[in-house]
Structure 1
């Protein structure tokens, strides 16, 4: 990853054959790293009372679309999670499964987990080949710069299994709430409010969702007026259009996680997850394949319009390190004339972006 961290590699803004080359290089690097991982894992494991060989570790390359083929139909397997940060963390992890399991933590305690269906928006992703229809969601505690291994053992008598209560609604008002946050959606799938319960602060939203700009086409391009495409974000019109005039919302609530899945159409969706004891909202989006049957290129964006009075100022990271103040249609070192008023106000965001006023701040971490 470090060798291929080119500014067009991970972001996908390069031409397709360049992106394919990066993908191949990353894949080769991952395959070689697996051997290093197995060597290190064998040395880290205790050698006392070891009677069986150490099983090979492998990576689930497609876990972002709920696929892990090597564990499908297995009666038992282990899951090792690594924490690269310098402080201990608790995360909520999802494991796609084809059977029902009991989950044990590193010291043998039974872990409380939710057994949920994988959403159709994920199962219908083109290229997803998996028999997994369900997933386990459970909290995992990881030490600083360390790992934890969880053990999955098949439940023998599934007829006696009592699942936790799951509440689901469709196209109704949806409220997600835990100890720290309250997130409110109306029955049409629009985000209306996020409330910080500790500080009694509210951010209201007038717009939220996926939108698209029509791309400046090659037909009108010149050397001095290039088309939108690889390396260039150049909308044809200043207005972004919603990807759909209507949307559906599915609301799911369990003891561990509460979710609002907003389905715009067959190729775009957005999921808001609020976990127990979490002070932030997890947001996942799914886009594609983008339809181009109309011969119009489409630049997809996510938009949040709030009542925060940020006075045209916003803040983004500089390649994941420093934070820079941005001002719309302004440059601090020269007199700026906004000849591209849309693209000139977009910045690459590797880790974070926020807006704020005197009392409130809305931050998006990537």
Structure 2
């Protein structure tokens, strides 16, 4: 989260500062935000120490890491809010920075470093509330964004006053309890690349607005005697038991779940006029630890054999929500809550299953919780994981090795494939992954171990928290049934897989306007004059420091990456516009309203210039190449 916010804050700050200098109003812009960016970057660098990444820090050190990251998160959102405030104002003369009364707020807060974020509830009255959306990705995206409001009578309009499609749902505090007088509005919004979009929320006088659809909810109690607290506005139909199968459908996908376990048991991929089904089932598993000799600890994974099925005390409660923008199945077990959501929208968002697992195993002793996906993909003993989100490495399951030797890190993705299809598991957090049998992918969700493993930490893993793990499950078909060369030393994700991973790790950021009085004229901000080719990724646009290290200079560093991708996976009729340019890019006309006055290619770390500064702004990158440029915008 901090890494994504840090990148977004650096880019938006650089754009706001360049536009402020272009109009001569940089004297009123808060240049002091630069020191907040520097501190956040240092805290993030500190957290990337191996003890923090691997979870092998002592509890006091882990708390210190958490407090530093929480301060960085708060400061980065402040930097993004200040930059967005300047950029969305129609008349920059109205810009006034007041640290005590920020113009934009955040849609969630974190009370402490080890708590999950709490979402902000917007209060609606007779005057409209304004929302600013920030898209940190360099591609335009059509996304479903959700906000909590205090009234079911709500209409969502664009900045031009056009109604936007939205879906009204209840806000649940548990499997059976609805939060009173709080409603979730999910909005289908198109947000420009690296840009800002302005929306209006109005309290509607009508009891039902045609652009707002109300979700339908079915709750299956599985024979348990429980009271259900509900609202009148969002109907909840309660059933004592579930049918054998529960199926959800969207424009592109169809997913079926077991009515008894609430877990995935089949998934279909639709194309125009055809349907192709792939068996994909999921289950939770528990690993124990050895009863003698060395036991599992912070460093060591020493299971007592193969994983055993997770058997909760009570059958799970299953809640099914259906609507025009999204449908989901939420399953509540004793130690884990799993939500699988289908977005019924065209483009990247609607082509994969959104999976989230809220895990709490604080009452376990020497147990490790895993999630396994089983398919009929004939992957053999080969699976693939990424290295630091950059390259993909083939892995092989070796039966002669102990079980724990077949687990590998998964920083951003893992996949299995055969000659016909590929199943990718994209993740928002680094976890351990393996494939112990053909057609399987298994990921460790959390570990709780009571003893030290004699590797230097001096304590067990007992500081577990309620943790939300987020994934995207992407099923793709090969356009050509060619033999997959799993023996090659390298493999590549598809272009769709790259884009889905970016959407998962760089979510749209919602910022409500805090001022009660009507704000000055606001308009959306489109920083790019044309969309970037789909295989280009802006790793960062970072303002460089001046001689006084607390102040920004007039130069910025642009770091670009051209992604390598697998062309054999089907990319037609996927519902999103995506073009590539053979690695060609013109930087001179890239940023709308700004002139590129100077461009200098440098080494990756900006230490050494590569060649002389050139007036030509056309560049070319090879696949997988990363290039850094010093530039001056104004």
- TM, length-normalised to structure 1: 0.80
User: Could you report, residue by residue, the CA deviation over 1:254-304 in whole angstroms, capped at 9, with x for unpaired residues?
Assistant: 1111111222x2331211111113111111111115323xxx222111111
What SS class does the counterpart of residue 37 from structure 1 fall into?
helix
The answer to whether the 8 A contact 1:290-1:298 is kept is no
Alpha-carbon distance in structure 2 between the residues aligned to 1:14 and 1:202 = 45
User: Could you report, residue by residue, the CA deviation over 1:295-328 in whole angstroms, capped at 9, with x for unpaired residues?
Assistant: x222111111111110011111111110111111
**Is 2:377 the counterpart of 1:314?**
no
Alpha-carbon distance in structure 2 between the residues aligned to 1:97 and 1:66 = 17
**Is 2:424 the counterpart of 1:363?**
yes
Residue aligning to 2:284: 210
**Structure 1 residue 243: Cα displacement:** 4.3
Alpha-carbon distance in structure 2 between the residues aligned to 1:115 and 1:238 = 44
**Is 2:67 the counterpart of 1:24?**
yes
**Structure 1 residue 161: Cα displacement:** 6.0
Q: In the alignment, which of 106, 120, 145 is matched to residue 194 of structure 2? A: 145
**Structure 1 residue 131: Cα displacement:** 6.8
**Is 2:270 the counterpart of 1:197?**
yes
Residue aligning to 2:185: 136
Alpha-carbon distance in structure 1 between the residues aligned to 2:197 and 2:116 = 23
Q: Structure 1, unaligned stretches of length 5 or more?
A: 125-129, 331-336
Residue aligning to 1:81: 133
**Structure 1 residue 118: Cα displacement:** 2.5
The answer to whether the 8 A contact 2:338-2:357 is kept is yes
Alpha-carbon distance in structure 1 between the residues aligned to 2:175 and 2:95 = 38
**Structure 1 residue 195: Cα displacement:** 1.0
Following superposition of structure 1 onto structure 2, how do residues 215-226 of structure 1 map, counting pairs within 5 Å? 215-216=289-290, 220=292, 225=294
Following superposition of structure 1 onto structure 2, how do residues 114-193 of structure 1 map, counting pairs within 5 Å? 114-121=167-174, 133-155=182-204, 157=205, 159=207, 164-169=213-218, 170=220, 171-172=242-243, 173-188=245-260, 189-193=262-266
| Number of residue equivalences | 340
What SS class does the counterpart of residue 118 from structure 1 fall into?
strand
Alpha-carbon distance in structure 1 between the residues aligned to 2:319 and 2:55 = 30
Alpha-carbon distance in structure 2 between the residues aligned to 1:200 and 1:304 = 21
Alpha-carbon distance in structure 2 between the residues aligned to 1:53 and 1:243 = 58
- TM, length-normalised to structure 2: 0.49
Alpha-carbon distance in structure 1 between the residues aligned to 2:383 and 2:95 = 56
Residue aligning to 2:522: none
Which is greater in Rg? 2
Alpha-carbon distance in structure 2 between the residues aligned to 1:9 and 1:240 = 29
Superposition RMSD in Å: 3.1
**Structure 1 residue 102: Cα displacement:** 2.2
Residue aligning to 1:58: 105
What SS class does the counterpart of residue 197 from structure 1 fall into?
strand
Residue aligning to 2:338: 270
Q: Structure 2, unaligned stretches of length 5 or more?
A: 3-43, 221-241, 428-634
**Structure 1 residue 56: Cα displacement:** 2.4
Bigger RCO of structures 1 and 2 (CA < 8 A, at least 6 apart): 2
Quick one: structure 1 residues 12 and 135, their matched pair in 2 at CA, closer, same or farther if it must change by over 3 Å? farther
Alpha-carbon distance in structure 1 between the residues aligned to 2:287 and 2:217 = 34
